[in-house]
Structure 1
Amino acid sequence: MQAVILAGGLGTRLRPLTDTIPKPMVLVRNRPFLEHLFALLKENGIVDILVLTGHLGEVIENHFGDGSTYGLRVVYSQEHEPLGHGGALHLAYEKLADSFVLLYGDNFLPIDYRDLVNFYTKSGKEGVVVSYQFKDESERGDNYSNNLCVDEEGCVTGYEQRGVPNGTHAEAGAMVFNKKVLEYIGEGYTDAIGNVLFPELIRRGELITYVSPHRFYDIGTPQRLKEAEVFFGSRK
């Protein structure tokens, strides 16, 4: 299975750290964040990686090259103007596998990705979104919210990025899609996944959730970056 990494954002909330490097290359425990993510994928047998870059994307490509040093096969698709998620995926269309794991380049979710892929295959659905249920408000932390409604069979019935009334699960930053879902989204949406693709898959009954036993960590804000530092410091 191929992993596709969304890594084209500007990372404005982490400035000045992101003035000279893209957000996925911010150091966490003295390693670029993306190195932690690549190591996790390799541990799970995912070695074919497509990185969708944008802002300062050459920094990522110069650091990782073709991935062979890391035991990976890494290719790139770089946007030269902001295209949004939809545009970035359309730009890379010819490089996409028929089905792929889609991840955010600033998010780390320590799950069994082999099990996730098997779950997707057995579901017969066009899309799977990984979710997590926070244990309490202290774990929720910096403005995370339950933004998914899920029925008893695990089908997603509602989604709003900033939270949904009676939401039961939080999107955890990992998805699996059939390539043909790109037919449902245009090229110019800043958040084509949440604003366009999820609603269309929900309407079709084609989006199911895989519930993660582990929470996710992202580096989107200074506070979350600190939490990620603590997490990686305790991770063996």
Structure 2
Amino acid sequence: MIIKTNNVEVEATTPLRKALEMLEASPVKIIIVLDSDRTLVGTVTDGDFRRAILRGDNMDSYVIDIANREPVSVHEDLNAGTLKSLIRERNVRYIPIIDDDGRLKGIYDGSVTPTSSDLKVPIVLMAGGLGRRLMPLTADCPKPLLPLADKPILEHIIVKFRDQGYRRFYISINYLGHMIEDYFGTGKNWGVEISYLRENMRLGTGGALDLLPNNMQFPFLVMNGDLITEMDFDDIVRNHIEAGAAATMCVREYMTAVPFGVVKFHGNTYLDVEEKPTYTHHINAGIYCLSKDALENIPSGEFYDMPTLFEDLTSKQHPCGVHVMRDSWIDIGNPREYESAQSRFRAKAEAEAADKKGRRIDD
């Protein structure tokens, strides 16, 4: 959760006594030290104050004297999922958020946001498709098991969810589904629990949900098994619950560039021309959050897709929502997209290997 910092912002020359009084009066247990143009220059926690008191520091000395002058901070464009991972990795509660010029934009408080593990939200992954557009790669391998760098697409997805606190998975399988089941088993090797929804016929992204158990936990997330994203899944769950929606669809901006002048006219009368415009649309991102009302509308034993579910729910006056995602998103649907994802993951793996090698040398 991003919180305001007005009551804990101080200049470098603020006396320790005043800064400590501010900390004691504020629910935000960190002091942010800024220069005159709001550039972040340091942070001070209650631990820093305790150590200063034990050392016998003069309480009229400046707060910058005890500040951490190289605090962990993140850019304002960093996605929330990565931010939460950094909170866990660094074992800190607060992380300042800065802009391109190092100016403070806010603080992320990792302790106040409800987590998926608190909600026990299950994940349904759709992995039963034929992968026709990726033939011949999918002739003897289901698309979710195609490799990206060192592991299959579906493994990247499961690990991303797991690292955000999700533990319960249902995987819908059909085409070459036994290979997916053999690879992941019960999920024990990944620290998760996996059950399988075995489609005897192709049921679509909605129809497969009829195979879920009667004791299904609500709400639950549904995601196509060929997507790679850095989104914070807790965000859509929280928005879904707050809106009281039966179903929430993730949408993403998609821009279409027209390489010609677009002519506007009425009848035979010319009005205007817009040269090579770019139009912005919102597309279905293949990620959903569903409640009990949505699941109860799934027909049994027939092909049924998710857009149809939203149409049916809307026609029956069930509230449906959208969640606009702005994090990275890759839909691996054709050879060009697969190769693009391959290149991105190879580059990421090489960068991580070089970083590890550099740390070993430094050690």
1:199 maps to: 311
2:199 maps to: 79
Q: Residue 131 of structure 1: CA displacement?
A: 1.1
Q: Identify which of 186, 189, 195 aligns with 1:66.
A: 186
Q: Residue 187 of structure 1: CA displacement?
A: 3.5
- The number of residue pairs the alignment matches comes to 207
User: Contact between 1:83 and 1:188, CA under 8 Å: does it hold in 2?
Assistant: yes
Q: Residue 225 of structure 1: CA displacement?
A: 0.6
Segment drifting more, 9-18 vs 88-97: 88-97
User: Contact between 1:100 and 1:179, CA under 8 Å: does it hold in 2?
Assistant: no
Compared CA separation, residues 129 and 104, structure 1 to 2 (3 A):
same
Compared CA separation, residues 82 and 35, structure 1 to 2 (3 A):
same
- Separation of aligned partners in 2, 1:106 and 1:214: 16
- Separation of aligned partners in 2, 1:18 and 1:65: 21
Q: Identify which of 86, 94, 103 aligns with 2:223.
A: 103
2:131 maps to: 11
Q: TM-score, normalised by structure 1?
A: 0.80
Q: Please list the CA deviations of residues 50-106 of structure 1 after superposition, one character each: whole Å capped at 9, or x if unmatched.
A: 101111111111111111111111111111222233331112243632221000001
Give the percent of matched residue pairs that are identical in Structure 1 and Structure 2: 29
Q: Aligned partner of 1:91: which letter?
A: L
User: Contact between 2:187 and 2:193, CA under 8 Å: does it hold in 1?
Assistant: yes
Q: Aligned partner of 2:286: which letter?
A: G
User: Contact between 1:132 and 1:215, CA under 8 Å: does it hold in 2?
Assistant: no
Q: Tell whether 2:146 aligns with 1:23.
A: no
User: Contact between 1:173 and 1:216, CA under 8 Å: does it hold in 2?
Assistant: no
- Separation of aligned partners in 2, 1:222 and 1:179: 37
Q: Considering only aligned residues, what root-mean-square deviation do their CA atoms show, in Å?
A: 2.1
- Separation of aligned partners in 2, 1:95 and 1:33: 29
**Higher CA-based Rg:** 2
Counterpart mapping for 1:71-220 below 5 A? 71-94=191-214, 96-134=216-254, 136-137=255-256, 168-187=281-300, 190-194=303-307, 196-203=308-315, 204=317, 206-220=319-333
Compared CA separation, residues 205 and 178, structure 1 to 2 (3 A):
closer
2:336 maps to: 223
User: Contact between 1:49 and 1:73, CA under 8 Å: does it hold in 2?
Assistant: yes
- Separation of aligned partners in 1, 2:170 and 2:127: 10
1:152 maps to: none
User: Contact between 2:297 and 2:309, CA under 8 Å: does it hold in 1?
Assistant: yes
- Separation of aligned partners in 2, 1:74 and 1:54: 16
Q: Residue 24 of structure 1: CA displacement?
A: 0.5
- Separation of aligned partners in 2, 1:74 and 1:6: 13
Compared CA separation, residues 190 and 230, structure 1 to 2 (3 A):
farther
User: Contact between 2:206 and 2:309, CA under 8 Å: does it hold in 1?
Assistant: no
Q: Please list the CA deviations of residues 164-209 of structure 1 after superposition, one character each: whole Å capped at 9, or x if unmatched.
A: xx97311111110013313323245544211x21112333261111
Structure 1, unaligned runs of 5 or more? 139-165
- Separation of aligned partners in 1, 2:304 and 2:340: 25
User: Contact between 2:256 and 2:280, CA under 8 Å: does it hold in 1?
Assistant: no
Compared CA separation, residues 4 and 100, structure 1 to 2 (3 A):
same
1:147 maps to: none
- Separation of aligned partners in 2, 1:191 and 1:109: 25
- Separation of aligned partners in 2, 1:84 and 1:108: 20
Q: Aligned partner of 1:16: which letter?
A: P
- Separation of aligned partners in 1, 2:132 and 2:240: 34
Higher relative contact order, structure no. (Cα contacts within 8 Å, ≥ 6 residues apart) = 1
Segment drifting more, 166-175 vs 211-220: 166-175
- Separation of aligned partners in 2, 1:170 and 1:189: 25
- Separation of aligned partners in 1, 2:314 and 2:197: 28
- Separation of aligned partners in 2, 1:83 and 1:170: 22
Compared CA separation, residues 94 and 232, structure 1 to 2 (3 A):
farther
- Separation of aligned partners in 2, 1:218 and 1:193: 16
